[in-house]
Copies of this chain bind each other. A is one copy, B any other.
Amino acid sequence: MQIAILLYERLTALDAVGPYEVLGRLPGADVRFVAAEPGPKRTDQGSLALIADNSLTDVPEPDVLVVPGGPGEGAARTDERVLDWVRAAHATSQWTTSVCTGSLILAAAGVLDGVCATSHWLALDELERLGAEPVSERVVVDGKIVTAAGVSSGIDMALTLASMIEGELFAQGIQLGIEYDPQPPFSAGSPETAPPVVVEFLRSQSRFLLQG
């Protein structure tokens, strides 16, 4: 099963690496990191680069397509090479997925028109503007399109996808392998549970956080 994970400049590292860590453990997984221009892609914080070994044209028909988000998505979703690839890959994919603001790239490619989908909680309005039906849930499955909320939710999305591809028992094996028994020290991971002052601070920084 060929799994293409899109990279681009200023993506958020965990958006790509969470699903990679899970989906790459599926039997027969053939993961390809792809980019419009192959080579190192510097992640949003600047101090880490992930390498895309493949160009988009190397992997035209992946079985699974994973589109991560990050401040660089604004540039990615105006890159016609990226949009063309997303459209063509989606036409033949078994699963088309995104994490965080990666859903804005899917939407810009026209893939989410009228589709129930999610994104980072700060990006749901933009997702709607781009034609999707925004849903405030951590993982949203609409047909073969599976979208995840912000950054870390790609792990939950990928485990959900792994169970749909290979069954619950195998997905549970992956979960135990990566010891995903989350115990965050605070309950601040969603705007519904975080202290209001924290939510307001993030809202005030949203332009920086999402498109820098």
Residues of B within 8 A of A153 (CB): 179, 181, 183
A48–B33 CA distance with the chains assembled, in angstroms: 7
Q: Which of A85-93, A103-111, A125-133, A196-204 contacts B (4 or more CB under 8 A)?
A: A196-204
A186 contact set on B, CB distance < 8 A: 159, 163, 168, 171-172, 175
When chains A and B are docked, how far (Å) is the Cα of A121 from the Cα of B176? 9
Q: Say if the beta carbon of A10 comes within 8 Å of chain B.
A: no
Does A115 touch B at the CB level, under 8 Å? no
Residues of A within 8 A of B (CB): 12-14, 17-18, 20-21, 24-25, 29-33, 40, 45, 47-51, 53, 100, 120-121, 138-139, 149-153, 155-156, 159-160, 163, 168-169, 171-173, 175-186, 188-191, 193-195, 197-199, 201-202, 209
